[in-house]
């Protein structure tokens, strides 16, 4: 049997009239089973196979494996499938250590060893630049993380129970693409403080904010914050105490954040430090709190007013602009800055901002990204202008998941 050949099929299916079962179950049982070999891990974490040339994405698969799968969604140019039987297992396959792995919407790479995860995500980052940006990037420098107990910030859902089975509040996560609820007694990627709390039923009940069925917590060292309760505090990042709020974005892996900041300090030190710098999408001012001291002036740009208020406390010397990056650049000449750092949300830069930076940006630009696809798209615009992509680094902020955080450094071509 060759890869892609049907193992059983519906070319001569048994008529539905002979089955006293729901039609949805009938179609599931009669669906064609297909044998496939996984070529690679695709963006999003699914294994990629090709059936008669058509890409098929199979969750929970590892590169090189041969398996039997069932098509669950069939689109014109691609399909999704679920694995049913592994015929040839990959040496990269690992035994997941979480009891709800594959059910909750969090981790999706626990079935791979950590080295294989890093290799797969590095390949995804490089592929995005080639496929979307039309750029062959520098070889990414890999900065790994502790693969477990790294996550300081997590969002939970609460389910209140009051009946024969017990009373109190359950904390849990949502299944992927579903409105269900998966209660948690443990989470191996969570900070030790969060893991400890998950098994303390009375404490969870006391801490759960009234009227909220979804909330965020932050735990690091002796600090514990919860949205709807004590939500504001300070955490030490390298040699500084920084204020944060559990309800506002703050990087979820403190150890990886410290490595990123150390690298950004080295990058910024190479810029023209006689000119000011700008931090676009500055959030609560984490990067500016470190980099801003290198320059005579720092503009901090953030449209979220609550985040901007915390940024003022974290770096009081800055000039603050409560607006979007594309609004700020309309009224400022980026050529008068020695260094600009951008840290946009997943959707990346607005095209008007990318085009202006490409034409009139400072000699050095650092782009912190949480999505390889939009980074590659924006890099295509930047490098079509005055910039050359000189450095690319992959920081594994989220082991056991397919999320990819990276730093791209651009310099003006002379």
Question: Is 39 in contact with 48 (CB distance < 8 Å)?
Answer: yes
- Which of 171, 172, 154 shows the shortest CA–CA distance to 224? 154
Compute the distance between CA of residue 145 and CA of residue 255 in angstroms, rounded to an integer: 8
Give first-to-last CA distance, the chain, whole Å: 58
Compute the distance between CA of residue 398 and CA of residue 237 in angstroms, rounded to an integer: 18
Query: Across-strand partners of 241?
Result: 236
- Which of 323, 391, 322, 325 shows the shortest CA–CA distance to 355? 325
What is each CA distance from 117 to 47, 142, 188, 203, 375, in whole angstroms?
A: 12, 12, 17, 35, 20
What is each CA distance from 333 to 288, 312, 368, in whole angstroms?
A: 19, 23, 21
Compute the distance between CA of residue 4 and CA of residue 65 in angstroms, rounded to an integer: 13
For 215-280, the three-class secondary structure string (H helix, E strand, C coil) is EEEEEECCEEEECCCCCEEEEEECCEEEEEECCCCCCCCHHHHHHHHHHHHHHHCCCCCCCCEEEE
pTM of the model: 0.91
Q: Is 337 left (phi over 0), alpha (psi -120 to 50) or beta?
A: beta
Q: Write out the residue limits of the CATH 2.40.50.140 domain(s) in the chain.
A: 6-88
Question: Is 337 in contact with 277 (CB distance < 8 Å)?
Answer: yes
β-pairing verdict for 405-412 and 364-369: antiparallel
Question: Is 296 in contact with 275 (CB distance < 8 Å)?
Answer: yes
> For 33-52, how does the pLDDT look when each residue is reduced to its tens digit (9 = 90+)?
889 999 999 999 999 999 88
Counting Cα atoms < 13 Å in the Cβ hemisphere of 374 gives 18
Q: Exposed/middle/buried for 138, CB within 10 Å: 0-12, 13-18, 19+?
A: middle
In CATH terms, the superfamily for domain 6-88 is Nucleic acid-binding proteins (2.40.50.140)
CA-atom Rg of the chain in angstroms: 24
Q: How high is the pLDDT of residue 8? A: 42
Q: How high is the pLDDT of residue 79? A: 92
User: Which helix (H) or strand (E) segment is 28 a member of?
Assistant: helix 23-30
Compute the distance between CA of residue 123 and CA of residue 172 in angstroms, rounded to an integer: 32
Helix (H, G, I), strand (E, B), or coil: what is residue 30? Answer: helix
- Which of 413, 367, 356, 371 shows the shortest CA–CA distance to 391? 367
Q: How high is the pLDDT of residue 171? A: 95
Question: Is 48 in contact with 124 (CB distance < 8 Å)?
Answer: no
Q: List the chain pLDDT tens, one digit each, 414 residues.
A: 334 444 544 334 444 344 565 645 545 555 678 899 999 999 999 999 998 899 999 999 999 999 999 999 988 899 999 999 999 999 999 999 999 998 988 999 999 999 999 999 999 999 999 999 999 999 999 999 999 999 999 999 998 877 555 568 899 999 877 778 999 999 999 999 999 999 998 999 999 998 888 999 999 999 999 999 999 999 999 999 999 999 999 999 999 999 999 999 999 999 999 999 999 999 999 999 999 999 999 999 999 999 999 999 999 999 999 999 999 999 999 999 999 999 999 999 999 999 999 999 999 999 999 999 999 999 999 999 999 999 999 999 999 999 999 999 999 976
> For 246-266, how does the pLDDT look when each residue is reduced to its tens digit (9 = 90+)?
999 999 999 999 999 999 999
Q: How far is CA 130 from the centre of its chain?
A: 20
- Which of 355, 350, 395 shows the shortest CA–CA distance to 372? 395
Helix (H, G, I), strand (E, B), or coil: what is residue 150? Answer: coil
Question: Is 78 in contact with 56 (CB distance < 8 Å)?
Answer: yes
Question: What is the sign of the dihedral through the CA atoms of 356, 358, 362 and 365?
Answer: positive
Q: Write out the residue limits of the CATH 3.40.50.150 domain(s) in the chain.
A: 114-146+254-412
CATH for the stretch 114-146+254-412: 3.40.50.150
Question: Is 93 in contact with 338 (CB distance < 8 Å)?
Answer: no
């Amino acid at each position: 049997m060759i890869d892609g050949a049907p193992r059983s099929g519906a070319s001569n299916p048994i008529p539905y009239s002979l089955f006293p079962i729901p039609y949805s179950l009938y179609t599931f049982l009669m669906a064609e089973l297909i044998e496939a070999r996984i070529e690679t891990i695709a963006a999003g974490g699914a294994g990629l196979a090709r059936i008669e040339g058509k890409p098929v994405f199979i969750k929970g698969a590892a590169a090189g494996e041969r398996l039997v799968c069932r098509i669950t969604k069939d689109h014109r140019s691609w399909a999704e499938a679920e694995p049913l039987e592994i015929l040839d297992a990959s040496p990269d396959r690992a035994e997941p250590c979480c009891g709800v792995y594959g059910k909750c919407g969090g981790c999706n790479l626990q079935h791979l060893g950590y080295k294989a995860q890093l290799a797969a995500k590095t390949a995804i980052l490089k592929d995005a630049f080639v496929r979307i940006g039309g750029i062959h990037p520098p070889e990414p420098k890999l900065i790994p993380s502790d693969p477990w107990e790294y996550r300081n910030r997590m969002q939970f859902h609460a389910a209140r129970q009051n009946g024969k089975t017990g009373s109190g509040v359950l904390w849990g996560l949502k299944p992927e693409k579903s409105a269900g609820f998966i209660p948690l007694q443990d989470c191996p990627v969570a900070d030790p403080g969060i893991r400890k709390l998950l098994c303390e039923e009375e404490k969870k009940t006391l801490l759960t904010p009234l009227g909220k069925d979804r909330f965020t917590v932050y735990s690091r060292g002796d600090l514990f914050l919860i949205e709807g309760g004590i939500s504001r505090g300070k955490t030490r990042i390298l040699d500084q105490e920084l204020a944060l709020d559990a309800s506002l974005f703050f990087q979820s892996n403190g150890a990886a954040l410290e490595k990123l900041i150390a690298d950004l300090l080295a990058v910024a030190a190479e810029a023209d430090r006689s000119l000011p710098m700008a931090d676009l999408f500055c959030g609560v001012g984490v990067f500016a709190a470190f980099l801003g001291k290198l320059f005579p002036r720092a503009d901090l740009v953030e449209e979220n007013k609550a985040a901007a208020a915390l940024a003022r406390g974290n770096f009081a010397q800055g000039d603050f602009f409560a607006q979007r990056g594309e609004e700020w650049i309309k009224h400022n000449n980026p050529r008068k800055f020695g260094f600009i750092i951008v840290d946009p949300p997943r959707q990346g830069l607005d095209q008007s901002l990318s085009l202006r930076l490409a034409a009139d940006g400072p000699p050095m630009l650092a782009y912190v990204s949480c999505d390889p696809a939009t980074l590659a798209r924006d890099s295509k615009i930047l490098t079509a202008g005055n910039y050359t992509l000189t450095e690319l680094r992959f920081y594994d902020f989220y082991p056991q998941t397919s999320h990819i955080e990276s730093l791209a450094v651009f310099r003006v071509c002379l």
